[in-house]
Amino acid sequence: MSWQWFHRLGSPRWFYQKTSVWLPWLGTASLLLLAVGIAWGLGFAPEDFKQGNSYRIIYIHVPAAFLALAGYYIMAICGAIGLIWKMKLSFVVMRAAAPIGAALTFIALFTGAVWGKPTWGTYWVWDARITSMLILFFLYLGVMALSGAFAREQSGDKASALLALVGTVNIPIIYKSVDWWFTLHQPATLKLTEASTIDPSMFYPLITMIAGFYLFYAWVLTLHTRSLILQREWRTQWVRELLGQSAPAAKV
Amino acid sequence: MHPARKQRLILVVLLVALSSVAVGFVTYAMRANMDYFYAPSAFVAGEVPLEKRIRAGGCVVPGSILRDDDSLDVRFALTDGEAEVEVVFDKILPDLFAEGEAAVVTGKLQQGGYVRADQVLAKHDESYTPPEVADTMVGKADCKGDAKI
């Protein structure tokens, strides 16, 4: 089997040039979906018969939590690819994914707290779901801190990739915590194997928001990866040429 | 695949597998502490210590809410479908607290088998329904009273 395509994928220069074409499409599509989803979910979807309007936090909370978990796997898998194939670009994507994931986890925790006060009667409880989500937030911060803690960039890559991989243990725990243990947090509304317990009029804007968040994540991850590539590769010929062409003042 | 890469792949898989097993053992050992609250049947089975701060969770039994006429005092029963436990509370209940809805209370189990609560939280279920659809539903679909609420 030829691994050539795989190794070409690992070239930061190739990635930078390819994504220049994708970026505007990705950005437009994600902002469009998010705008439609937000207007639909916050403005037009009916209110819940028990919670009233406060349930609308679901349109931010659930997509953010989805991407916080999925983004962790993206980060860890990139770390694994980097370790196994010694692929520079993979480590760069891993580093780029950490702050985005941390921000999404924070959004999920924060919106959950805002919703918890009027619904449960408290901002915070230490149940299994919420505590494991807080651990996820600390894992993201840990990967960010560890990747920057070494003078040699390669040491930071390896150490933070190992931490990211060990941390994957937490993801199924977060996901299944509401089924395995008694928690204050309710079980999942969107189910893979059976009918979701949400009315279609509320479900479609939610799916739109989730799709929008996925595209937005891809967009932001690509943007951040590109800026990290330029920072890492600034000594190389192609980056110098690129900067020389677009911004002559940037020459050092 | 290059042998060196294969070796690193195996090491990565081992790292994830072993840390999963380790965390699995830890959570298994702490399984009783992973639950946020005791179900009412645990009270009946005598698993809940007296005069210690504990939490109880379950469905508020319809018709069990008794309010005092001239104070905030309220009594109600929680059930998990198998057993019931009585709760006494003297503060303001959350908005979504209602008969047939789930609630989680923090307090101390008293001599006589009831819980004197100092906090009552409403537990929301995972269903979302517009008012028009809720009006057409026959009976209350939520809080079925099974053990896993």
- Beta-carbon separation of A184 and B36 below 8 A: yes
Q: Are A107 and A62 in contact (CB under 8 A)?
A: no
Please give the share of chain A, as a percent, with pLDDT higher than 70. Answer: 96
Residue at token pair 């504990």: B54
- Which parts of B2-114 fold into alpha helices (H)? 3-29, 31-34, 40-44
Q: How far apart are CA A164 and CA A146, in angstroms?
A: 10
The reply to whether B95 touches chain A by the CB within 8 Å rule is yes
Q: How far apart are CA B59 and CA B80, in angstroms?
A: 6
Q: Cα–chain-centroid distance for residue A170?
A: 15
pLDDT in tens, chain A (252 residues): 566 777 777 788 889 988 999 999 999 999 999 999 999 999 999 988 888 888 999 999 999 999 999 999 999 999 999 999 998 999 999 999 999 999 999 999 999 999 999 999 999 999 999 999 999 999 999 999 999 999 999 999 999 999 999 999 999 999 999 989 999 999 888 887 778 889 999 999 999 999 999 999 999 999 999 999 999 988 888 898 888 765 555 544
- Beta-carbon separation of B126 and A180 below 8 A: no
> How, if at all, do strands B74-79 and B114-123 pair?
unpaired
Q: Are A180 and A128 in contact (CB under 8 A)?
A: yes
The reply to whether B91 touches chain A by the CB within 8 Å rule is no
Task: Give the per-residue pLDDT at B140.
Answer: 47
> How, if at all, do strands B66-67 and B114-123 pair?
unpaired
Residue at token pair 């801190």: A145
Residues in chain B with pLDDT values less than 50: 139-141, 145-149
Q: How far apart are CA B114 and CA A131, in angstroms?
A: 29
The reply to whether B130 touches chain A by the CB within 8 Å rule is yes
Nearest neighbour of B121 by CB, restricted to A48, A121, A173: A121
Q: How far apart are CA A155 and CA A158, in angstroms?
A: 5
Q: How far apart are CA A218 and CA B65, in angstroms?
A: 51
- Which parts of A58-199 fold into alpha helices (H)? 58-85, 88-119, 128-147, 153-167, 170-180
Task: Give the per-residue pLDDT at A247.
Answer: 52
Task: Give the per-residue pLDDT at A141.
Answer: 97
Query: In chain A, what residues touch B134 (CB-CB under 8 Å)?
Result: 49-50
Q: Which residues contact A99 (CB under 8 A, 6 or more apart)?
A: A140, A144, A224
Of A62, A71, A127, A78, nearest to A99 by C-alpha is A71
Tokens of A238: 């192609």
Any idea where the domains of chain A sit in the sequence? 62-189+216-243
Instruction: Count H helices and E strands in chain A, helices first.
Output: 9, 0
Tokens of A89: 């670009």
The reply to whether A55 touches chain B by the CB within 8 Å rule is yes
> What is the distance in angstroms between the CA of the first residue and the CA of the last residue of chain B?
49
- A241: helix, strand or coil: helix
Nearest neighbour of A120 by CB, restricted to B39, B122, B129: B122
